[in-house]
């Protein structure tokens, strides 16, 4: 029981962690090219930060947040996403004085979701927010950057879905239309959607209930309710995407599960045989920063789910740790000499292990288990003659398996052998 992680949460180590670091490194390089700098916000925020921005009728807020009262009586929440915390940070640090801001973040997020493949209760997001620059160019550049990040880690089997939620006028007219439509079908809606119909009708469109989904398929389309300005804005975004040579599909029901979106929304969906869910998504928000007391400054952002990206990256090129040598004293008498050699190799930037516990057979076994390529053995004779016995762990047991090398030349010998063994 004590050794079990919490359901939906897992340790990241070995190949998985290597993949994580690799994706972040690639994304950082690309984001730098697009002018992003990094931000790290706390994992815990006051509950209101999420409640007010994500919306209390969303699944994330109403069902999935890890919320608790701390010892000082404050309601705190483990962040379910990164955008709200970034907006809070911009407001509390007065960063809106330096607009436009382009911020990248990555780290743990928490949602009390039903765990399944690619869905966890603790997961990692890699997110981007571009604040203070409202233009269809910004929207198109951001979508292009998202696609570029995926390609940079070898993910090409994707579908780009885009939609618009328009401006206030659009949403007002569209909300009236769907309220009328869903009211006619109210009896067939799930209990939850009946409540949504009263409180936040747009949220019915991202209901996961099968019955609701059937009704939603017949609902009016937002495209038919766009104000003139919103229509023009979205049309320009789409034209710019064509200019980028990006294949995209307009999905009129892409309302996304968070309340803060206005205008463009988008999602990148995997289309590989291996996985078909959303790798990342986001959109524009006109009113979000205003909620935190700053002026209304428009922004746009998206986040990738790291676990889903890692799922699509081939394991083959990971987990091969850099090759290493081990230094083995035959008996305790040679410990000091072996320890000096170990320090010398480390100072020469070589990956070295010092194996001094147990008898020689045990030490050699450990060396094999650790994947050492060479064992550098120092016994009584080696000590007396100023030499080292080099044992190539993976060579056949013929004349080439062992070599005697002068102790003054050993570091050079190991370095040269690295090339010979074609070490990474």
What is the number of the residue whose Cβ is closest to ligand HAM? Answer: 305
233 secondary structure, DSSP code: H
Q: Which is nearer to ligand HAM, 111 or 391 (CB)?
A: 111
Least distance from ligand HAM to the Cβ atom of residue 199, Å = 20
Least distance from ligand HAM to the Cβ atom of residue 167, Å = 17
114 secondary structure, DSSP code: -
Specify burial of residue 243 (Cβ count, 10 A radius: 0-12, 13-18, 19+): exposed
Nearest to 326 by CA among 389, 416, 406, 395: 389
> CA of 175: how far to CAs of 19, 100, 171, in Å?
43, 32, 6
Q: Where are the alpha helices (DSSP H) in 71-129?
A: 83-92
Q: Which is nearer to ligand HAM, 111 or 407 (CB)?
A: 111
Cα–Cα distance for residue pair 117/112, rounded to 1 Å: 15
Q: Which is nearer to ligand HAM, 289 or 350 (CB)?
A: 289
- Through-space distance between the first and last CA atoms of the chain, rounded to whole angstroms: 40
Least distance from ligand HAM to the Cβ atom of residue 298, Å = 12
Least distance from ligand HAM to the Cβ atom of residue 353, Å = 37
Measured in degrees and rounded to the nearest 5, phi and psi for residue 402 equal -125, 155
Specify burial of residue 295 (Cβ count, 10 A radius: 0-12, 13-18, 19+): exposed
Least distance from ligand HAM to the Cβ atom of residue 8, Å = 8
Q: Do the bridges between strand 158-164 and strand 324-329 make them parallel or antiparallel, or are there none, so unpaired?
A: unpaired
What does the binding site for ligand HAM look like in residue numbers (CB under 6 A)? 81-83, 111, 113, 118-120, 123, 125, 127, 129, 257-258, 278-283, 301-303, 305, 307-308
Least distance from ligand HAM to the Cβ atom of residue 282, Å = 3
């Amino acid at each position: 029981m004590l050794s079990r992680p919490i359901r939906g949460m897992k340790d990241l180590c070995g190949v998985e962690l290597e993949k994580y670091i690799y994706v972040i490194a690639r994304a950082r390089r690309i984001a730098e090219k697009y002018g992003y700098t990094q931000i790290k916000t706390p994992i815990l925020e006051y509950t209101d930060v999420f409640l007010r921005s994500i919306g209390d009728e969303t699944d994330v807020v109403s069902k999935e947040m890890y919320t608790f009262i701390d010892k000082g009586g404050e309601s705190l929440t483990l962040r379910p996403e990164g955008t709200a915390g970034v907006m809070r940070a911009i407001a509390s640090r007065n960063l809106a004085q330096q607009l436009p801001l382009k911020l990248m973040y990555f780290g743990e997020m928490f949602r009390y979701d039903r765990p399944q493949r690619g869905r966890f209760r603790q997961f990692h997001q890699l997110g981007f927010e571009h604040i203070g620059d409202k233009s269809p160019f910004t929207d198109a550049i951001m979508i292009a950057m998202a696609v570029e990040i995926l390609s940079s880690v070898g993910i090409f089997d994707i579908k780009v879905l885009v939609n618009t939620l328009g401006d206030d006028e659009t949403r007002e007219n569209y909300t009236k239309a769907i309220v009328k439509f869903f009211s006619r079908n109210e009896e067939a809606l799930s209990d939850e959607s009946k409540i949504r119909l009263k409180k936040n009708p747009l949220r019915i469109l991202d209901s996961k209930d099968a019955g609701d989904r059937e009704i939603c398929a017949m609902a009016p389309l937002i495209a038919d309710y766009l104000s003139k300005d919103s229509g023009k804005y979205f049309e320009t975004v789409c034209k710019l995407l064509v200019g980028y040579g990006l294949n995209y599909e307009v999905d009129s029901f892409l309302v996304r599960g968070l309340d803060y979106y206005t205008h463009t929304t988008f999602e990148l969906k995997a289309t590989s045989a291996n996985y078909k869910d959303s790798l990342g998504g986001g959109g524009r928000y006109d009113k979000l920063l205003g909620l935190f007391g700053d002026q209304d400054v428009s922004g746009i952002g998206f986040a990738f789910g790291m676990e889903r990206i890692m799922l699509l990256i081939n394991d083959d090129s990971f987990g091969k740790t850099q090759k290493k040598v081990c230094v083995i004293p035959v008996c305790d008498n040679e410990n000091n000499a072996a320890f000096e050699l170990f320090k010398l190799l480390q100072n020469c930037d070589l990956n070295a292990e010092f194996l001094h516990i147990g008898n020689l057979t045990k030490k050699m076994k450990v060396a094999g288990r650790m994947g050492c390529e060479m064992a550098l053995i120092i016994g009584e004779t080696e000590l007396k003659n100023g030499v080292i016995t080099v044992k190539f762990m993976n060579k056949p047991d013929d004349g080439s398996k062992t070599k005697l090398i002068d102790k003054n030349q050993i570091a050079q010998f190991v370095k040269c052998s690295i090339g010979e063994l074609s070490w990474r």
